[in-house]
Amino acid sequence: MAAILLGNEIRDLDQDRAAGLRTFAVVQGVRAARRTDVALAMAAHAAVALGSLLLVAPRSCSGSTVRAR
């Protein structure tokens, strides 16, 4: 979720700067914001991969529609 929001901040950087808004992308700059965006996306994917390897997904995410008795 944070990666999506940061991507939106990067996209709106010029308008935010012109309006005087101090978003993360405006304060840190485009390069740092893009690197942070990539790191957040990679961390999210790594967390999902690790969770699937360790079999720690919540029961609602297991894809099973049959309830255990």
- Per-residue buried b or exposed e for 19-51, using 16+ beta carbons within 10 Å of the residue's own CB: eeeebbbbeeeeeebeebbeebeeeeeeeeeee
Size (the chain), residues: 69
Does residue 64 sit within a domain? no
pLDDT tier, 58 (very low <50, low <70, confident <90, very high otherwise)? low
Question: Does residue 69 belong to any structural domain of this protein?
Answer: no
Mean pLDDT of 31-51: 91
Average pLDDT score over the chain:
84
Closest CA to 21 of 12, 31, 33, 30: 12
Task: Provide the pLDDT for residue 35.
Answer: 95
Residue 65 forms part of a structural domain: no
The DSSP annotation for 4-37 comes to HHHHHHHHTHHHHHHHT---HHHHH-HHHHHHHH
Say if 67 falls within a structural domain.
Answer: no
How confident is the model over 17-40, as a mean pLDDT? 94
Q: Give the range of the structural domain holding residue 35, as residue numbers without chain letter.
A: 2-55
Global pTM reads 0.68
What is the number of structural domains in the chain? 1
* 38: in domain: yes
Cα 69 to Cα 50: distance, rounded to the nearest angstrom = 28
- Residue 36 maps to a domain: yes
**pLDDT recorded at residue 64:** 56
Does 42 fall in a domain? yes
